[in-house]
Homo-oligomer: A and B are copies of this chain.
Amino acid sequence: MTRNVRIGLLGCGNVGGGLVTLLGERREQIRERHGIDLEISSVLVRNGEKKRRGVDPEIITTRAADVFASDPDIVVELIGGVEDAARFVGAAIDSRRSVVTANKALLAAQGSEVFARAKRHGVRVGFEASVCGGVPVIRTLRVGLAGDCVESLTGILNGTCNYILTLMEEGQSFEDALAKAQELGFAEAEPSLDVDGHDALQKLTILSAIAFGGVPAGEVQLSGIRGVTLRDVRRALREGRVIRHVASSRIDDGVLRLSVRLELLAAGDPLAAVRYENNALVVRARAAGELTFLGRGAGALPTASAVLADIIDIAQAA
């Protein structure tokens, strides 16, 4: 018995395109394994003239209303940014549709409102793809550690910063390393979101809300990687250590403390081994002990893999 599930796709850029490709490849297997036929009912794009591989031109539109009119069961928000995304996600929830999103900026800014609204309307919000791309850290915190007590989170959450620091260990300058990251497409053209730590802080905020939900927020410590010199990196290496841009959170005196900053790590530290654009998260939980997750934290296909897993999970529960 196969059930048809319609997906309204908002955004068909890097990750949206990856999702179209992945769904094209896996649709048949998902039908066999999970009994769900996933069909894209409509795709919102900015430029309606551009051809999209694997997408029927008939279902492409530049008006969000068309996507909602296509009667989707699940709305997938991949346009990014806060304002438009918040409006579309709100409209989807109000029309009792579950949402899947990769939008860390939206969730860091308005996560609790979005989740409360979804709860009120009895729909779900899947957001695995918003942090650490294809590495399933959100599901682990939400479900895998539901009976445990998280004590701290420590991670490398921004691939661009880690890529730059790794290339500096290989002797390249900050500027050359940043240019390389931009060329490869994982640093933004305007890189301050990455290198000043805002992106890592958004992700840390999302993870901490799940792990420590309800604890009042304390002081936030935020610094980026612009100050690092080749001399610093070399001195660390000579001492058998590495410089990493580390995001961490823990409860201290009843208050949640978030910090994103440069740290000098010993070679044996699990985060010291994280190289190039990889991400990692170390979760310390009272019963489970220390759990480490490592993988590609960005990129079209890893992120699309997380989006598709959320879609299947929600479609199966419906």
Contacts and interface: CB of A to CB of B under 8 A. Distances in A.
Say how many copies of this protein the assembly contains: 2
B270 A145 contact: no
24 contacts: A18-B287, A22-B147, A29-B149, A33-B213, A34-B146, A134-B289, A134-B291, A135-B288, A136-B145, A139-B139, A139-B140, A145-B309, A146-B309, A146-B313, A147-B305, A147-B311, A147-B312, A148-B305, A287-B302, A288-B302, A289-B295, A289-B302, A291-B295, A294-B294
Contacts of A147: 22-23, 26, 30, 305, 307-309, 311-312
A291 B135 CA distance: 7
Interface string A204-226: 00000000010000000000000
A139 B146 contact: no
A198 interface: no
A292 interface: yes
Contacts of A270: 273, 294
A294 B296 contact: no
A116 B146 CA distance: 27
Contacts of A309: 143-148
